Amino acid sequence: MKLRSKINLILLLVPLFFLSACANDQYSVERQYWYLQKQAGKIFQNPQGSPPGQLNAAVNRLNKFIQKHPKSSLSTDAEFNIARLYMVKEEYNKARAQLKMIEDKYTKYPDIRAEAVFLSGNSYQMENKWDSALNQYRKIMQLYPVTRRGLDVPVYIAQYYKVKHQPEKMIVAFQEAIVFYKGLAAKYPNSPLAYVTSMLAADCYGANKDWQGAINSLNTMLVDYKGKVQLDNILMNIAAVYYRELKDKTKTKETLERLLKEYPHSKYIKAATALLKELSK
């Protein structure tokens, strides 16, 4: 190829290369969405001060984005953002209609559906309708238990009662959460989910200050998961409960010695040794 032809080819390829960057790729979709989020952010920052037209304009733009990019994951986020915009503008019925639409649309995605129901519950909470909110949260526990939100929501309910200074209801909610988590652990035995839910159940015992229940739950895990996963964190937790809550120095020492013996390379070795030193004083 002659030099002139080579130069012509380069001159043709260079603009083509840069023009290709103008394509409607994932990056440009992200860019479009970022600007839409910035506009919506103005309403989120000052929901009372923003004029009604601003909400309609933001919703319209988000809807156009969803229509234009139906397969993008950002469209799902945009759908949720529309609901959130209605919520901050206290248009709760519109928010719930949007969330119902999301729940009905994503039949194959339980995590998305659970999130939609959770936000719907939040909208009732914002209206001070706790019973209706609770119905939504219980719906998540029934229909979408094995989702991130499904695992969070029992503790969320108990925390609500704690914040509202209703200790009796909080204790009941934590007990219900324990039943829920243990039920999941029994349904999916020896799975990573069962491990997570067993830990959550132990946490709930702790939140209710049922220390013996927490220790029993953790001890069951030591038996169930022996040789399957690293259990040094569980031994450390048991030792901490014996030491801080039950003030049982003998059991604390026993547990820490077991930790040192079974997991000599654990990241808790330093803390365990320090605690043993403290106990021997």
Token reading at 279: 């106990």
Residue 38: CB minimum distance to another protein, A: 9
Query: Are residues 143 and 158 in contact, defined by beta-carbon separation less than 8 angstroms?
Result: no
Residue 34: CB minimum distance to another protein, A: 6
90 makes contact with another protein (CB under 8 A): no
Cα-Cα-Cα-Cα dihedral sign, residues 185, 191, 192, 193: negative
Query: Are residues 177 and 154 in contact, defined by beta-carbon separation less than 8 angstroms?
Result: yes
225 phi, psi to nearest 5 deg: -110, 15
Token reading at 260: 């040192």
Q: Which is nearer to another protein, 8 or 73 (CB)?
A: 73
At 164, which amino acid appears? K
Measured CA to CA, the distance from residue 15 to residue 55 in angstroms comes to 40
Q: Which is nearer to another protein, 27 or 191 (CB)?
A: 27
Q: Which is nearer to another protein, 1 or 19 (CB)?
A: 19
Measured CA to CA, the distance from residue 157 to residue 174 in angstroms comes to 8
Query: Are residues 182 and 195 in contact, defined by beta-carbon separation less than 8 angstroms?
Result: no
Measured CA to CA, the distance from residue 100 to residue 258 in angstroms comes to 52
DSSP single-letter state for residue 226: T
46 makes contact with another protein (CB under 8 A): no
Residue 80: CB minimum distance to another protein, A: 18
Measured CA to CA, the distance from residue 266 to residue 263 in angstroms comes to 5
Residue 246: CB minimum distance to another protein, A: 33
Measured CA to CA, the distance from residue 138 to residue 251 in angstroms comes to 39
What track of x and - describes contact with another protein for positions 21 through 40 (by CB under 8 A)? x-x-x-xx-xx--x------
Stretch that binds another protein, among 19-27, 114-122, 130-138, 158-166 (CB under 8 A): 19-27
Stretch that binds another protein, among 4-12, 16-24, 85-93, 143-151 (CB under 8 A): 16-24
Stretch that binds another protein, among 18-26, 97-105, 111-119, 251-259 (CB under 8 A): 18-26
Number of residues that bind another protein (CB under 8 A): 11
Residue 58: CB minimum distance to another protein, A: 18
Q: Which is nearer to another protein, 18 or 131 (CB)?
A: 18
* Residue numbers at the binding site for another protein (CB under 8 A): 17-18, 20-21, 23, 25, 27-28, 30-31, 34
